[in-house]
Amino acid sequence: MSLAVPDEATTTAVEPHSLPPIEAGHGDEGIAWTHRHLLDVDILTWPEIELVLRTAAAMREVLARPIARVPALRGSTVAILFYEVSTRTRVSFELAAKALSADVVNIAAQSSSVAKGESLVDTVRTIEALGASTLVMRHPVSGAPYLAAEHFGGSVINAGDGWHAHPTQALLDLATMRAHLPDGSVAGRKVVILGDVLHSRVARSNLWTLTAAGADVWLCGPATLLRGFEAWAVASVGGPAGSGAPAGGRRFTVTSDIAAALRDAAVVMALRIQRERMSGSLLPSLREYAARFGLTRARLALAGPGALVMHPGPMNEGVEIAPDVAVGPTSVITDQVTTGLAIRMALLYLLAGARGGSGGSGGGDGGGGGPA
Amino acid sequence: MPFSGRRIMTADEVRRATVRISHEIVEKHGGTESLVLVGIQRRGVPLARRMADAIEEHEGRRPPVGALDITFYRDDLSTIAQQPVVKGTDLPFDLNGLTVVLVDDVLYTGRTIRAAMDALVDFGRPRAIRLAALVDRGHRELPIRADHVGKNVPTAREEVVRVRVAEIDGEDGVDLEWAEEPVSAVTVG
């Protein structure tokens, strides 16, 4: 029994992207953030993605201060409701909210009234009644945050829903790549997303932001873990008008040929094998997976010199990524975590603005009454 | 948009006011030792740089210049409709024991300065904080005054004082304009 062989490789040759270069629109101040919720990255235009990254850069500066806390969200409450286990994302959101001086309530579904059978909608209404203005939510069912958003008066941030989306991860991945790639741009560069693509909300959200940034995205894994993904990707990213994809298409390739995928790559992102989401036997064994698709030093050598190594965590070291690669000289995995904090601060801040207050007389100084 | 305002400071007057303030800063401080200038984003930053240049010209030593973004310290973040764009803070020195001169283009309600002082003390404990403003237009809402003022301009609340600096706006000058709509301070930069 063996895994899919490379000759099954399915390749989509979408025509090259025709997006504006990534540096376009620097310094523009006219971009207004209007989204009350962040449920998926596919609602974001490129200037909005840039606004998030710019705001996150300011947040990194805040995090470097002797007192890494600013009063921007003082008096507001952020509720963190997780129906799946998590360490880094939950802690990251909690620290981000605290760095902006918000109050934080953590609700783990396992120890809340959810265990008594309370419905999602009831839980969300209760959280709102208790005064939370932002709900950060992770749920094993794709689309659950959309239901929550319909019943929540404040902002909902999707911290991962099933196979569907993980918007803050995609934004922090993009920010990390731009911080480490020469000239700070992913445009035209080859980015490989390797592993359990099928079950990965990280892969889906990253496909959107990376193709928007003009990257050449390759999704690679055993055929059993790619099945159906390509059709989804074509429909959502390279899809017809109305999907949000710019005319001219975005560039991505889906393949089981790991050598072709890694060749000359600038970034290699290994994905966690998500056994908890697998039904049936999609993999003969983890050992065989590691042998065929694990990111080892030898495989990484196929990529371009200095190729960045990324992983959304948590890692199964020795399965999808070799321990020495995970801590290798070009690994930016820990920087992904730090950047995630800044990205989540930026989003909490921007969403609070879109929720807006009265907009009334404005108690601000406004110095000259205009730009001051 | 047709120009509907009245020029209250020409480019030359802006230059002279900036140079005069730079002299005043050094005189009040008694030299340039332990002195730093911190411009408030956005137009306070180029003004602070110019003052530092002028001080270097007549004192032979240029005080360090920093930039301060006060967005996260505003007291109206929960009431305005749109988050202001963050311009970034850069204070390349240890504030402890220094005399910090805050530089802003317009002094109005004083709320920007309150926010700026809150931000500064999060970075350390300056020996003193002083304030220089190119224009003081009155209407204070907090007990704050400037140590150095380029020009005092009596205004109505319905008026807008628009400071233009070459580094951002392509020219120097200060205009007094009539607000088309009630002034709601949406952008503090």
Strands in chain A per DSSP E: 77-82, 103-108, 134-139, 155-161, 190-194, 216-220, 252-255, 267-270, 308-310
The string of pLDDT tens digits covering residues A315-344 is 999 999 999 999 999 999 999 999 999 999
- B173: chain A residues, CB-CB within 8 Å: none
Residue (of A326, A320, A317) closest to A221 by Cα position? A320
Q: Give the model's pLDDT for residue A14.
A: 36
Cα A227-A233-A238 angle, rounded to 5 deg: 150
Q: What is the pLDDT of residue B69?
A: 95
Whether residues B108 and A366 touch (CB distance < 8 A) is answered with yes
A299 token code pair: 């495989």
Q: What secondary structure letter does DSSP report for A344?
A: H
| Residue A64, pLDDT score | 92
Residue in chain B nearest A55 by alpha carbon: B86
Instruction: Tell me the C-alpha distance between B176 and A29, whole Å.
Output: 23
Q: How far apart are CA B149 and CA A107, in angstroms?
A: 53
User: What is the residue-level pLDDT of chain A in tens, covering all 372 positions?
Assistant: 444 444 434 444 433 333 333 333 334 456 788 999 999 999 999 899 999 999 999 999 999 998 999 999 999 999 999 999 888 899 999 999 999 999 999 998 877 777 677 889 999 999 999 999 999 999 999 999 999 999 999 999 999 999 999 999 999 999 999 999 999 999 999 999 999 999 999 999 999 999 999 999 999 999 999 988 888 888 877 644 334 444 446 889 999 999 999 999 999 999 999 877 776 678 888 899 999 999 999 999 999 999 999 999 999 999 999 999 999 999 999 999 999 999 999 999 999 988 765 333 333 333 333 333
Numbers of helices and strands, H then E, in chain A:
12, 9
CA nearest to A36 within chain B: B82
pLDDT at residue number A17? 33
* Residue A352 sits at the chain B interface (C-beta within 8 Å): yes
Helices within chain B (DSSP H only): 11-29, 44-59, 111-121, 166-169
Instruction: Please name the member of A61, A352, A372 whose beta carbon is closest to the beta carbon of B188.
Output: A372
Residue A226 C-alpha, separation from nearest chain B C-alpha, in angstroms: 41
Residues from chain B that touch A54, judged by Cβ atoms under 8 A, are: 85-86
pLDDT of A238 reads: 64
Per-residue pLDDT at B3: 55
Would the CB atoms of A356 and B80 count as touching at under 8 Å? yes
pLDDT digits (tens, 9 = 90+) for A80-136: 999 998 888 999 999 999 999 999 999 988 777 776 778 899 999 999 999 999 999
Chain B's closest residue to A61, CA to CA, is: B89
Do A369 and B108 count as a contact with CB atoms less than 8 A apart?
Answer: yes
Residue by residue, pLDDT tens for chain B (189 residues) are 445 689 999 999 999 999 999 999 999 999 999 999 999 999 999 999 999 999 999 999 999 999 999 999 988 877 776 778 888 899 999 999 999 999 999 999 999 999 999 999 999 999 999 999 999 999 999 999 999 999 999 999 999 999 999 999 999 999 999 876 554 444 443
Say yes or no: A32 contacts chain B, CB-CB below 8 A.
yes
Q: With beta carbons less than 8 A apart as the criterion, state whether B88 and A61 touch.
A: yes
Give all domains of chain B, ordered by start, each with its CATH number. 10-155 (3.40.50.2020)
Nearest to B79 among A349, A360, A372 (CB): A360
Query: What pLDDT, on a 0 to 100 scale, did the predictor assign at position A363?
Result: 34
Q: Does A30 touch chain B (CB under 8 A)?
A: no
Indicate the DSSP class of residue A42: G
For residues A222 and A8, is the Cβ–Cβ distance under 8 A?
no
Residue A353 contacts B where some CB pair is shorter than 8 Å: yes
Q: Which chain A residues are closer than 8 Å to B112 by Cβ?
A: 364-367, 372
Tokens 């029994």 sit at which residue?
A: A1
Question: Is the CB of residue A177 less than 8 Å from the CB of residue A206?
Answer: no
3-state secondary structure B35-88: EEEEEECCCHHHHHHHHHHHHHHHHCCCCCEEEECCHHHCCCCCCCCCCCCCCC
Residue with tokens 């879109």: A354
For residue B105, the chain A residues in CB contact (below 8 A) are 367-368, 372
Question: Of B143, B122, B139, B141, whose CA–CA distance to B131 is shortest?
Answer: B143
Q: Which residue has the tokens 């990254």?
A: A53
* Burial class of A367 by CB neighbour count within 10 A (0 to 12, 13 to 18, 19+): buried
Tens-place pLDDT, residues A256-266: 999 999 999 99
Cis before residue A140, ω within 30 degrees of 0? no
Q: Which CATH architecture has domain A6-21+167-334?
A: 3-Layer(aba) Sandwich (3.40)
Architecture (CATH level 2) of domain A41-165+339-355 = 3-Layer(aba) Sandwich (3.40)
The answer to whether the Cβ–Cβ distance between A372 and B135 falls below 8 Å is: no
What chain B residue is nearest to A70 in terms of C-alpha separation? B72
Q: Which residues pair with A194 in a beta bridge?
A: A220, A270
The residue to which tokens 């393949």 are assigned: A255
Quote the minimal CA–CA distance from B60 to chain A in Å.
Answer: 31
Report strand pairing: B35-40 vs B99-107.
Answer: parallel
Query: According to the model, what pLDDT value does residue A354 have?
Result: 81
Inter-chain touch A364–B112, beta carbons under 8 Å: yes
Please indicate, yes or no, whether the overall pTM of this predicted structure exceeds 0.80: yes
Listed by number, the residues of chain A in 38-67 with a beta carbon closer than 8 Å to a beta carbon of chain B are 51, 54-55, 57-58, 61-62, 65-67
- Tokens 């989804």 correspond to A232
Considering only CB atoms, A75 lies closest to which of B71, B78, B90, namely: B78
Question: Which of B72, B163, B164 to mutate to probe the A interface, most A CBs <10 Å?
Answer: B72
**In chain A, what residues touch B73 (CB-CB under 8 Å)?**
70-72
Residues in B touching A64 (Cβ below 8 Å): none
Contacts of A72 in chain B (CB under 8 A): 71-73, 77
Structure tokens at B129: 């904080």
For residue A353, list chain B residues with Cβ-Cβ distance below 8 A.
77, 80-83
Say yes or no for a CB contact (<8 Å) between A363 and B75: yes
Q: CA-to-CA distance for A243 and A260, rounded, in angstroms?
A: 29
In this complex, how many residue pairs, one in chain A and one in chain B, have their CB atoms less than 8 Å apart? Answer: 159
Q: Which two tokens stand for residue A252?
A: 């991505």
Chain region(s) in chain A for CATH 3.40.50.1370: 6-21+167-334, 41-165+339-355
Count Cβ neighbours within 10 Å for each residue of A119-157 and write b for 16 or more, e otherwise: ebeebbeebbeeebbbbbbbbeeeebbbbbbeebebbbb
CA distance A195 to A319: 10
pLDDT of residue A139: 95
Residue B80: closest C-alpha in chain A:
A359
> Under a CB-based contact definition with an 8 Å cutoff, are residues A49 and A42 in contact?
no
> For residues B139 and B155, is the Cβ–Cβ distance under 8 A?
yes
For residue B186, which residues of chain A lie inside 8 Å, CB to CB? Answer: 362, 364, 366
* Helix/strand/coil for A352: helix
Using alpha carbons, select from A213, A166, A220, A149 the residue that is nearest to residue A186. A213
Instruction: For residue A97, give the nearest of A338, A313, A354, A341 by alpha carbon.
Output: A341
